[in-house]
Amino acid sequence: MKQAATARLTRRRFLGNCLAASAGGWWAGCVALPRSRQLGRIAPRTSLAIAASPLSVGFETLDRQLFEPERTYPHLARLGAKWARVHTGWCRTELVRGVYDFAWLDAVVDHLLKIGIQPWFCVGFGNRLYTPEAPFESAVGWIPTRTPEARHAWQRYVAALAEHYRGRVKHFEIWNEPQGKSFWRPDEPGPAKYVELVRLTVPPIRERQRDAVIIGGAVAGMDTKFFQGCMEAGLGEHIQKVSFHSYRPLPEHNYEADVRQWRSLIARHKPGLALWHGEVGAASATGGAGGRADYPWSETRQAKWLLRRFLSDLRMEIELVSYFHTVDLVNYFGSDGPTGKTNLKGLLRGGDYTPKPAYFAYQCLCALFDAATARVAVPLAFEQAAGAAPVKLEEIASAAFSRNGWALHAYWHPCGHEVERPDERITLAFASQPGARLERPVLVDPLNAAVYALEHAEEHDGRWTFRGAPLADHPLLITDRAVALGVEA
């Protein structure tokens, strides 16, 4: 298996290979800057060192015990994410009727809090004590609304959960992907049925935690029709956030249009409802378990996909984005039982828990895109670079941000990863503004956290022009040395 051959790709080796390539070409997608010199790297920041952030990491499938949490904590502490989506696992907590053992979940919650990561709960799934028809102990997706006994048992469990974690966890997402048969069993799913479950679940939580934040939806694939049905059935009356999942191979494909549709529905039914991207992820090899498994993935393509996915969400001002998953899930276990395959979407490898390139790419994003970075309305203009191959400028994706008053702008070519892009060049221009100023511009490649000098940067009356700037199939960042090299406060 290819995974084993690359298992020892440490951060030092990954960066070393990229830096060696920067002098004379491309290696694994790192940007070639033959006329530029490297000035340094973006310094990682621990989660404890970051006050607040919209970036989250997946800690799902604890109900099925598909990974060892203890082996992930040292890596998570250094990642810089501030949130973790945690499956609660009714089946694992209530093994005897009316008796709740939260010791296993306490260990997870307390350790995440200790390293500076705030858990948010995805509350589910079934329990064979009350859904005996479920074929597996985990009862993945088996709904607790089919009998009065199951409904009452579910409410008692949710009440015990909210009471036990008062003061530690206050964000509760109700169920997971309720519009699909994989996670809504055995009945046919439907918006009204899901809203019934939400109505059943919210009161026990609010009685124990008046300030609880309820998250609804967890809709797979941004199913607009299902979401519309939920809002028409009254979902907005019970929730403060709405979540969705998107695993599209091209992160940008129709995404802006889908977000506009969801926000239009929100404006119609409950203005101000925030969007959370509760699951996003890509595999690091072909043929594993889970969605989009047959796409021609590689570890480098996974890292590029992550950068494009998160910059697209930050560009669209999604309130929180959570990467699925912390680690590969060996012998992935879904609602149909064990697959015999590994879900290869982890930031860490499932065999030895070593970081993949995607881990380091996400670490770079976490260091730069915490709550001190905000979206700003600064248009980026693109032109053909003299002497370079023509580029379809209208296809370039871009986003402008301000970090502590400094410009932090991203741009990339949203092409398919299955075709390696040539070393493309463009001319890029934007105006320096008081809230997004630029004095000593540098280029950052978040794929390897390298910071480069921009040799052909020109400033005239507050407008910067960058001739011959590289264009890649993953986001590149232009910012000031104060941001990139740690001069800022």
Partnered with residue 327 across adjacent β-strands are 348
d(CA 479, CA 442): 6
DSSP string for residues in 373-424: EEE-----EEEEPTTSPP--GGG-EEEEEEETTEEEEEEE----TTS----E
Using an 8 Å Cβ cutoff, are 479 and 441 in contact? Answer: yes
Indicate the range of 12-16, 91-95, 154-158, 371-375 predicted with least confidence: 12-16
What size, in residues, is the chain? 489
Is the pLDDT score of 401 beyond 80?
yes
Using an 8 Å Cβ cutoff, are 417 and 304 in contact? Answer: yes
d(CA 429, CA 372): 24
Indicate the range of 115-124, 334-343, 356-365 predicted with least confidence: 334-343
Instruction: Indicate the pLDDT class of residue 61, thresholds 50, 70 and 90.
Output: very high
Is the pLDDT score of 11 beyond 50?
no
Instruction: Indicate the pLDDT class of residue 487, thresholds 50, 70 and 90.
Output: low
Residues ≥6 apart with Cβ < 8 Å to 457: 441, 464, 465, 466
Q: Would you state the structure tokens that stand for residue 62, as one six-digit string? A: 């604890």
CA-based nearest residue to 308, from 80, 78, 476: 476
Alpha helices (H) along 165-289: 191-208, 224-232, 255-269
What is residue 16's predicted lDDT score, i.e. its pLDDT? 43
CATH number of 55-368: 3.20.20.80
Q: Would you state the structure tokens that stand for residue 116, as one six-digit string? A: 């500076």
d(CA 262, CA 274): 10
Report cis status (omega within 30 of 0) of the bond before 125: yes
What is residue 232's predicted lDDT score, i.e. its pLDDT? 98
Instruction: Indicate the pLDDT class of residue 455, thresholds 50, 70 and 90.
Output: confident
Is the pLDDT score of 288 beyond 80?
yes
Using an 8 Å Cβ cutoff, are 329 and 341 in contact? Answer: no
d(CA 243, CA 105): 23
Where in the chain is CATH 2.60.40?
20-44+373-484
Instruction: Indicate the pLDDT class of residue 356, thresholds 50, 70 and 90.
Output: very high
d(CA 283, CA 298): 7
- CATH number for 20-44+373-484 (one of 2.60.40, 3.30.70, 3.40.50, 1.10.3470): it is 2.60.40
**pLDDT for 235-280, tens place per residue?**
999 999 999 999 999 999 999 999 999 999 999 999 999 999 999 9
Where in the chain is CATH 3.20.20.80?
55-368
pLDDT (average), residues 406-416: 95
d(CA 179, CA 168): 30
Residue at token pair 């409802």: 273
d(CA 105, CA 89): 9
What is residue 335's predicted lDDT score, i.e. its pLDDT? 85
- How much of the chain, in percent, has pLDDT values that exceed 70? 91
Torsion of CA 242, 245, 248, 253, to 10 degrees: 10
pLDDT (average), residues 188-209: 98
The secondary structure element, H or E, covering residue 18 is: helix 11-22
Partnered with residue 406 across adjacent β-strands are 403, 437
Is the pLDDT score of 417 beyond 90?
no
d(CA 315, CA 369): 11
d(CA 135, CA 140): 9
**pLDDT for 136-169, tens place per residue?**
999 999 999 999 999 999 999 999 999 999 999 9
**What mean pLDDT is reported for the chain?**
92
Q: Would you give the end-to-end CA distance of the chain in angstroms?
A: 46
d(CA 457, CA 442): 9
